[in-house]
């Protein structure tokens, strides 16, 4: 069974989906990657979908979901990407690892659409740097344990 990595945010509308898409692309099929929120917004932000499409990752089929959907699943690693989710994060069955990497929330950005997209791109790129480095470490770890 593939290890499950769950990325949590409060609204599960933006940052956690950016991270989920990037991590899933970086890890390939060796892991199950999902995201959820403590207070899901009920949608995935359209500018987040657009920002990810710019780097060739399609998250348009993602949906906003509550972390309770995962409470009875075997989750090996939990990663929180906002302070609120970090504070309310429960323990999951099988959880061995927990990380917190906080990022600004582009969903609260104001201004023109292009000004908002600049913030979405910046946060996407910050998330990409952190999560691709994390993925490289996980993949190296998997190779050395064989």
Q: Point out the catalytic residue in the list 5, 6, 8, 9.
A: 9
- Rounded to the nearest angstrom, the gap between the alpha carbon of residue 27 and the centroid of all alpha carbons in its chain is 13
Q: Is 48 in contact with 106 (CB distance < 8 Å)? A: yes
Compute the distance between CA of residue 120 and CA of residue 126 in angstroms, rounded to an integer.
10
Q: Point out the catalytic residue in the list 5, 34, 57, 82.
A: 82
Q: Per the structure block, which two tokens stand in for 61? A: 């089929």
Residues 6+ apart with CB under 8 A from 83: 102
- Rounded to the nearest angstrom, the gap between the alpha carbon of residue 124 and the centroid of all alpha carbons in its chain is 11
Q: Point out the catalytic residue in the list 89, 107, 117, 123.
A: 89
Residues 6+ apart with CB under 8 A from 139: 27, 30
Q: Is 146 a catalytic residue?
A: no
Which residues are identified as catalytic? 9, 82, 89
């Amino acid at each position: 069974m593939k290890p499950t990595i769950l990325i949590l945010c409060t609204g599960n509308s933006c940052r956690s989906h950016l991270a989920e898409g990037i991590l899933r692309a970086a890890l390939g099929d060796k892991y199950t990657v999902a995201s959820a929120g403590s207070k899901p917004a009920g949608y995935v932000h359209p500018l987040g979908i657009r920002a990810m499409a710019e780097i060739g990752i399609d998250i348009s089929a993602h949906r906003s979901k509550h972390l309770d959907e995962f409470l009875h699943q075997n989750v090996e690693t939990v990663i929180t990407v906002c302070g609120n989710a970090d504070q309310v994060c429960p323990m999951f069955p099988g959880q061995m690892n927990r990380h917190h990497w906080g990022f600004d929330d582009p969903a609260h950005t104001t201004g023109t659409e292009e000004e908002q997209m600049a913030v979405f791109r910046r946060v996407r790129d910050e998330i990409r740097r952190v999560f691709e480095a994390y993925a490289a470490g996980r993949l190296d770890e998997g190779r050395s344990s064989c």
